[in-house]
Structure 1
Amino acid sequence: MEQKAGEPRLPVVDVATASPEQKRVLDDILNGPRGNLAGPFLSWIHSPELAQHAQKLGAFCRYHTKLSLRLSELAILCTASKWRAQAEWQIHYPIGIDAGLDERNIELVRLGKEPKFALREEQLIWELVEELYETKRISEPLYKEAEQYFGVEVLVNLVGLLGYYALVAMTLNVFQVRHGDGPLPFEG
């Protein structure tokens, strides 16, 4: 049977027939801070060892970076926009808005346009993501400002968060994962 465009590429793992390794990972995810299998987990579960390592890294990146939820969600949404990751955007957009992000600026991020955040910390997150994705580096002036503003540990955690959510975005895109039935945020 031929794969239809936009349909998920991987079969859904049935918990009843899952391997013991898969069941352990599914239990860890469902009993962890997320409590659900949204996003990349049903793709990663086809490789239980990868799934276990990735979900643990993801829990740290999502909940323990010492960034506020608002700033973490902004970094995730910037990454989702860069990768045009449908499900990543669909999952994190409402969380970001509930965390206090400005809808107009987030729409500009989705469209790949420059936002004008009122708070320097938000603009700084956007600038870091933008420069990193465009140049694959962070210039010395921007690095120094970010280091001074966030501190070394949080800046390292932010880079880890961006890398993790790039992995999530690649997974979602390759395996055509969607979230819900609403309209897709990105064309194509």
Structure 2
Amino acid sequence: MLALSFYIHNIIITIMANNDRQDRNGRDLTIAFVLVTLTYMLVGAGFYICFPLAKACIEDNILNNFEMHDVMTAVARILLLFQVVTVYPLVAFMLRSEAVLLLDIGSSRALTIIINLAIVTVCILFACFCPSIGTIIRYTGAVSGLVHIFALPSLLQMRSLQLRGRLTWFQGIFHTLIVIFGAVNLLMQFFIKE
């Protein structure tokens, strides 16, 4: 998730750079984010409101809330398998690229195999010892949020203001509080009862 949250911005930048009407990029990006947010909210809220049992019974994997032998559940699981089979190589490629860049080593077939085995091993270990997808997403989302939403933008803004000689005490405190808020959000994940 950390790699995806970082690289999705590169993907958006590439798409926006090839847009015919550059003056509409801000509008188009805002519309895209609003539509994605509304889609997630409508699906999540609709499911939550229509769930017939106690809300505490809702599983973290939405497909586990439906009968195992339901035809639509089986179709959804097949489509989810298709999604994982198509997205997993992209995520593995991003992680390999990041590892090669961070470690400053050349790419070779042996290195690719070693990194792929490491990625698969980590995924299998998580599937075996922490099968609760909600827990995994909770922690990785909090870490990704801390890094990419709270810390990096605030630190970059403070550094930019400092280099230009425009950083005030108020701005420094404000951006520091944003980073602290992200850190507290991560810390609070350890106190949520399952």
TM-score, structure 1 as length reference: 0.25
Comparing both structures, which one devotes a greater share of its residues to helix?
A: 2
Q: Higher RCO, 1 or 2 (CA under 8 Å, sep at least 6)?
A: 1
Q: Which has the larger radius of gyration?
A: 2
TM-score, structure 2 as length reference: 0.24
